[in-house]
């Protein structure tokens, strides 16, 4: 019984560390120019995010982790950072 509890505890701890590392791997960009070098259309939090600024040239990349790491670059708060 003790071995089962220890194994379960270790697995749960490993899952927690993995999820924290995945969220911390999202790159934070200094400004929109740098972000657009990698993602021309910007970064959307979800695929259902609608652009409030009008028509765009490029479709945004969808990634909740990447959006959250660069939330400060979403000036119009439409859940799409650096759309163009």
Q: What is the pLDDT of residue 49?
A: 93
Q: Are 80 and 49 in contact (CB under 8 A)?
A: yes
Over residues 33-51, the pLDDT tens digits come to: 999 999 999 999 999 999 8
Comparing 32 with 7, the larger pLDDT belongs to 32
Say how many domains are in the chain.
Answer: 1
Do 34 and 73 contact (CB within 8 A), yes or no? no
If one compares 25 and 31, the residue with the highest pLDDT of the two is: 31
Please indicate, yes or no, whether the overall pTM of this predicted structure exceeds 0.75. no
Q: Give residue 51's domain range.
A: 2-81
For residue 79, which of 28, 56, 22, 68 has the smallest C-alpha distance?
A: 68
Is the predicted pLDDT of residue 83 greater than 80, yes or no?
yes
Q: Is the pLDDT of residue 60 over 80?
A: yes
């Amino acid at each position: 019984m003790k071995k089962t509890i220890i194994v379960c505890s270790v697995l749960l701890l490993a899952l927690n560390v993995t999820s924290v590392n995945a969220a911390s791997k999202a790159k934070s960009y200094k400004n929109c120019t740098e972000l657009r070098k990698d993602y021309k259309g910007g970064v959307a939090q979800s695929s259902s995010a609608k652009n409030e600024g009008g028509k765009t040239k490029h479709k945004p990349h969808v990634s909740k982790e990447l959006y959250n790491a660069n939330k400060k670059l979403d000036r119009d708060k439409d859940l799409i950072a650096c759309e163009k």
